[in-house]
Structure formats: C-alpha cells, structure tokens
C-alpha cells in the first residue's frame, strides 16, 4: 500500500496541517511538511508535537518514517505534486480573513504544470479565483488549484480525519481534483465534487450554520430561564425531529474556537463586501458575545457587587481535549470579572500555558480543588472530564461560598445540591 500511495506536501503545521499530514501518512503516503516557524519544525524533527490533540502524537510517532519536516518547500516540491496548504487565515483588525500567509505560499509555488495547490485553509469564497489570477500574472497559470476544505473538530481531529461525514473537492474540471479524490478513497467517505467557489462556500456556510444552531439554542435557554422550562429537555425534544437533529444544541456560555468566531464574521463581511447585508449572522455573533457575558450578571444577582469576591474558573480552553485558547469564552469572562473588581483564579488541566500567553496576570491554580479553595463562587467554563467527576462534597468544604454556575450544563444538579451547594446552569429551569 505504501508504494502505491501518492506522496504529498503539507504547508503549514498547525492543527489542520499536522492532522492532515499524520492522517495521510497513516494511510501510506510519504508526507513532506513545511513551516516557516523554525522552532516548530525543529520540535517536530525531534519527535515533539507542539499542540495538544488526543492521538496526534501517537499517530505521528507510529508513522514517523513517512513524515518529513522542513522549513523550505524544496523537498515537498521535489517529491510530491499535491501541495496541501493549511496555513492560518486569522481575522484582520477589520474582521476580514487575513490571507497574507496564503499569498506567501502562492508566491513560493513552483512554476509548474505538474503540481497542484490544494487549499485546506479556510478562505473567503472567491479566493481560489483570485489566486488563479495571481498565478497567471506570475506566469504560473498552469499550476492547478483545488479547494478541499477541512471540517475536523479540535479534540476529535484524528477521528474526524479518518471518518469524515464528507469530503468536499472543488476544482476547475481538470484532473487535479481526481488526484485529491483518489487520495481520500481509502476513507470510503461520501465525496462531493463541486466548482472551487462552491467548495469554499460550503465550508463557510457549514460553520455559520453550526454557530447559528448554538446561538439559537442559547437564546432558547435564556427564554427558558424566564419561563421555567428546562433547555435540556427542550433541546432533546427539538433535536428528535430528524429535520433538525440533536447535535449542536447544547446551550452554554457561547461558542469559541478559531473557526466559528472567525468564519462567521468572515462570511458576514464577505457578503457585506459584495453589498449584501447578512442580517442573521449579525444576530448570531451578537447573541454569542452576550452569552459569554451573561454569567457576570448571574454572579452579580447572587453575590451582589463582585469587587473583592473570589471567583474560581474551572476550565479555560474553548472546549475540552484541546489547549486552544482562541476565542475562548473564558477570556471574556475573566476580563469582565476583573473589570468588576473580582479576584479571579482559574484552572485548566491542559490549556494553562496557552492561557498564560494571553492573560499573564491571571492567578492560575494547580488543581481543581486548589482553584475552588476559599472561592465565593465557582464557574465551570470548559467541561473537562475531570470536572465532571469532582467530589462536590470536597468542593463545598473547600469553598467559602456556595454558588456553582455550570456554564456548559455538564454537571448533575442533584449531586451538586446534595453537597449543600447552590447550582445554576444555563436555561435549566
Ligand atoms: C468547528 C467545526 O465543528 C469544524 O467542523 C470546523 O472544521 C472547525 O470549527 P471546533 O472549533 O474544533 O470545530 O469545535 P466544535 O466542537 O465545533 O465547538 C466549537 C465551539 O462551540 C466550542 O466552544 C463548543 O463549546 C461550542 N459548542 C458546540 C456549543 O456551545 N454548543 C454545542 O452544541 C456545540
């Protein structure tokens, strides 16, 4: 199998790039990874994995002989014709996608009619067309272009790579798309072939729809709080409708992560740039921002003014099983609480180092029991498994106050209450 699999290049070794590289190496391809970050490449060459993603280090280690890491494109270009691009496209100060890293890669592409630029980075719809134009201007119009958006979720990225709901391949009707499709064949996933613009839009629309689902259920949760209904039952009842489905209906303190926050805003601005006002997405974003802040009002309602109050934050990462802090609801909460004069302590089993880079002044605890000690209130922001199995009796004994706000509806209210604590979820009646 190893002999017959096509070798590939992967440019950009972030979450998407490393998972793609390790995944295709596991399927038997030689994979030539490239990143401009010399320290990161040196780490990878030593066998160290710079990000926390369950199963990734093991997959990289077990396929080490097929994974090659370099800071230049030379080996990737020499040994592979499919060059996957998975560099970051963070938002600019205006909220549009910053495509400078993508353009650096485009400028470095070989002058070649044999190679294919396979875009995995999430880019605004229309990027493929403008890249093709740039390539033509550079005399490189024969280089083929394929859009192959990535749908993996952090925390379950390996599983998502191996068992995707679908693989989307957008091409210009040339054989380049077939070569990418052949690479994915062993996964036996549904493959959707489209033009480049549609593939780009599928990615943005999928993320925007998922974010809309979350903001929708969060608003339902807020109304549940006013009416005494329980959003967990409501979501279950709504999700049993096959047209709606049960996933992404968990109310909480808002969505975070690099993709939803970035892509929803990028799609809204993409529409605006072409003169269309995407009203719905404006509401999705606003609901999410307000949702992150509602916890502060809940704390104030129970504790009064927060100045001098000790608030323990359980979990900092934007979701469990990752150290990623991008767009994390904890960032907004910690900043808002500190602005109110609260004494904030936080604990995360994995993301503390990443959090420290963004919030160096925050007081970090070394364990869950450490963080709740003497706290007037505890707020659960990330539903790490270790928090779900905490001894709430021990928490109650360590705390000064009794208030527990479960920002992810992840705890059993009865268990928390049985320890003499006051439980508040999000929309749980
Ligand atoms: C998302 C998309 O799911 C994935 O397809 C895309 O490739 C990248 O963006 P990711 O950001 O890794 O993946 O995480 P995801 O599991 O989708 O969660 C995003 C955020 O939404 C998290 O903060 C999570 O806590 C929140 N969320 C998710 C909810 O608040 N409620 C839900 O029901 C689901």
Residue 328, token pair as written in the block? 């994390």
**Same domain for 233 and 180:** no
pTM (2 decimals)? 0.94
Nearest atom in ligand 1 to 207's CA: 2
How far apart CA 46 and CA 97 sit, in angstroms, is 33
Q: What is the pLDDT of residue 167?
A: 98
Does 102 reside within a domain? yes
Domain boundary among 150, 179, 194: 194
State the distance from the centre of ligand 1 to the C-alpha of 257, rounded, in angstroms. Answer: 7
**Same domain for 298 and 355:** yes
State the distance from the centre of ligand 1 to the C-alpha of 324, rounded, in angstroms. Answer: 12
**Same domain for 185 and 94:** yes
C-alpha angle 227/228/230, rounded to 5°? 115
State the distance from the centre of ligand 1 to the C-alpha of 248, rounded, in angstroms. Answer: 8
Q: Is 259 a catalytic residue?
A: yes
**Same domain for 70 and 147:** yes
**Does residue 318 have its Cβ closer than 6 Å to ligand 1?**
yes
Ligand 1 atom 25 nearest Cα? 319
Helix (H, G, I), strand (E, B) or coil at 19: helix
**Does residue 56 have its Cβ closer than 6 Å to ligand 1?**
no
Residue 272 is part of which domain span? Answer: 227-424
Residue 244, token pair as written in the block? 């709606």
Q: What is the pLDDT of residue 93?
A: 81
Which helix (H) or strand (E) covers residue 346, if one does? strand 343-347
Nearest atom in ligand 1 to 206's CA: 5
Ligand 1 atom 24 nearest Cα? 255
Does 345 reside within a domain? yes
Q: What is the pLDDT of residue 4?
A: 75
Does 206 reside within a domain? no
Catalytic residue among 33, 125, 148, 259: 259
Per-residue pLDDT of the chain in tens (429 residues, 90 and over written 9): 445 799 999 999 999 999 999 999 999 999 999 999 999 999 999 999 999 999 999 999 999 999 999 999 999 999 999 999 999 998 888 877 899 999 999 999 999 999 999 999 999 999 999 999 999 999 999 999 999 999 999 999 999 999 999 999 999 988 999 999 999 999 999 999 999 999 999 999 999 999 999 999 999 999 999 999 999 999 999 999 999 999 999 999 999 998 999 899 999 999 999 999 999 999 999 999 999 999 999 999 999 999 999 999 999 999 999 999 999 999 999 999 999 999 999 999 999 999 999 999 999 999 999 999 999 999 999 999 999 999 999 999 999 999 999 999 999 999 999 999 999 999 998
CATH of the domain at 45: 3.40.50.720
Q: What is the pLDDT of residue 2?
A: 44
Q: Tell me the CA end-to-end span of the chain in Å, nearest whole number.
A: 56
Residue from 53, 155, 290, 319 to probe ligand 1 pocket by mutation (most atoms less than 8 Å from CB): 319
State the distance from the centre of ligand 1 to the C-alpha of 207, rounded, in angstroms. Answer: 9
**Same domain for 151 and 37:** yes
Ligand 1 atom 5 nearest Cα? 151
**Same domain for 231 and 190:** no
**Does residue 193 have its Cβ closer than 6 Å to ligand 1?**
no
Does 93 reside within a domain? yes
Strands 403-406 and 377-380, bridge-based pairing: parallel
Spatial strand order in the sheet of 363-364: 363-364, 343-347, 310-314, 377-380, 403-406, 422-424
Ligand 1 atom 30 nearest Cα? 255
Ligand 1 atom 11 nearest Cα? 257
Q: What is the pLDDT of residue 247?
A: 97
Does 282 reside within a domain? yes
**Same domain for 239 and 127:** no
**Same domain for 178 and 234:** no
**Does residue 259 have its Cβ closer than 6 Å to ligand 1?**
yes
Ligand 1 atom 28 nearest Cα? 248
Residue 345: burial class (beta carbons within 10 Å; 0-12, 13-18, 19+)? buried
Residue 301, token pair as written in the block? 């309602």
State the distance from the centre of ligand 1 to the C-alpha of 76, rounded, in angstroms. Answer: 32
**Does residue 152 have its Cβ closer than 6 Å to ligand 1?**
yes
**Same domain for 401 and 262:** yes
Ligand 1 atom 7 nearest Cα? 151
Q: How far is CA 121 from CA 43, 85, 90, 186, 345, in A?
A: 23, 6, 10, 23, 36
Q: What is the pLDDT of residue 1?
A: 43
Q: How far is CA 126 from CA 8, 131, 199, 267, in A?
A: 25, 9, 10, 12
**Same domain for 264 and 355:** yes
Domain boundary among 194, 211, 239: 194
Q: Do residues 350 and 288 touch, judged by C-beta distance below 8 A?
A: no
State the distance from the centre of ligand 1 to the C-alpha of 182, rounded, in angstroms. Answer: 29
Q: How many domains does the chain have?
A: 2
**Same domain for 247 and 134:** no
Which helix (H) or strand (E) covers residue 339, if one does? helix 329-339
State the distance from the centre of ligand 1 to the C-alpha of 153, rounded, in angstroms. Answer: 7
Does 210 reside within a domain? no
Nearest atom in ligand 1 to 151's CA: 7
**Does residue 232 have its Cβ closer than 6 Å to ligand 1?**
no
Q: Do residues 173 and 249 touch, judged by C-beta distance below 8 A?
A: no
Q: Do residues 90 and 193 touch, judged by C-beta distance below 8 A?
A: no
**Does residue 248 have its Cβ closer than 6 Å to ligand 1?**
yes
**Same domain for 307 and 170:** no
> Of all residues in the chain, what percent are helix, strand and coil, respectively (each to 5)?
45, 15, 40
Does 213 reside within a domain? no
Domain boundary among 173, 194, 215: 194
Q: What is the pLDDT of residue 310?
A: 98
- Radius of gyration for the chain, computed over Cα atoms and rounded to the nearest angstrom: 23
Ligand 1 atom 8 nearest Cα? 259
State the distance from the centre of ligand 1 to the C-alpha of 161, rounded, in angstroms. Answer: 16
**Does residue 319 have its Cβ closer than 6 Å to ligand 1?**
yes
Nearest atom in ligand 1 to 248's CA: 33
Ligand 1 atom 2 nearest Cα? 153
H-helix segments, 47-99: 56-62, 74-79
Does 209 reside within a domain? no
State the distance from the centre of ligand 1 to the C-alpha of 214, rounded, in angstroms. Answer: 9
């Amino acid at each position: 199998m190893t002999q017959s699999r096509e070798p590939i290049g992967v440019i950009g070794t972030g979450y998407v790039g490393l998972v793609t590289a390790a995944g295709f190496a596991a399927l038997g391809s030689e994979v030539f990874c490239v990143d401009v970050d010399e320290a990161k490449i040196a780490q990878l060459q030593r066998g160290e994995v710079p990000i926390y993603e369950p199963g990734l280090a093991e997959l990289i280690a077990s396929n080490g002989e097929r994974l090659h890491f370099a800071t230049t494109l030379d080996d990737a270009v020499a040994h592979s014709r499919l060059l996957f691009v998975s560099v970051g496209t963070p938002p600019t100060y205006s909220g549009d996608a910053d495509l400078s890293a993508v353009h650096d890669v485009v400028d470095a592409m070989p002058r070649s009619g044999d190679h294919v630029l396979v875009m995995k980075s999430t880019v605004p719809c229309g990027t493929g067309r403008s890249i093709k134009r740039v390539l033509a201007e550079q005399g490189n119009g024969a280089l083929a272009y394929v859009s192959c958006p990535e749908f993996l979720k952090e925390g379950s990225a390996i599983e998502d790579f191996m068992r995707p709901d679908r693989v989307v391949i957008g091409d210009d009707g040339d054989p380049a798309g077939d070569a990418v499709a052949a690479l994915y064949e062993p996964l036996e996933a549904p493959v959707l072939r489209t033009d480049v613009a549609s593939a780009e839009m599928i990615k943005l629309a999928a993320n925007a729809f998922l974010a809309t689902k979350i903001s929708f259920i969060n608003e339902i949760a807020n109304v549940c709080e006013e009416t005494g209904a329980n959003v967990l039952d409501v979501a279950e009842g709504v999700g049993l409708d096959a047209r709606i489905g049960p996933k992404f209906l968990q109310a909480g303190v808002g969505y975070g992560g690099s993709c939803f926050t970035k892509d929803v805003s990028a799609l809204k601005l993409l529409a605006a740039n072409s003169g269309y006002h995407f009203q719905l997405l404006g509401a999705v974003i606003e609901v999410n921002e307000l949702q992150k802040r509602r916890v502060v009002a809940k704390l104030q309602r129970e504790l009064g003014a927060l100045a001098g109050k000790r608030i323990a934050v359980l979990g900092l990462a934007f979701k469990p099983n990752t150290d990623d802090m991008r767009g994390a609801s904890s960032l907004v909460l910690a900043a808002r609480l500190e602005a109110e004069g609260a004494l904030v302590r936080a604990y995360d089993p994995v993301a503390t180092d990443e959090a420290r880079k963004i919030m160096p002044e925050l007081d970090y605890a070394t364990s869950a029991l450490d963080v709740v000690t003497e706290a007037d209130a505890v707020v659960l922001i990330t539903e790490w498994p270790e928090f779900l199995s905490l001894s709430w009796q021990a928490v109650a004994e360590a705390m000064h106050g009794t208030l527990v706000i479960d920002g992810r509806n992840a705890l059993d209210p009865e268990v928390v209450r049985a320890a003499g604590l006051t439980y508040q979820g999000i929309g749980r009646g």
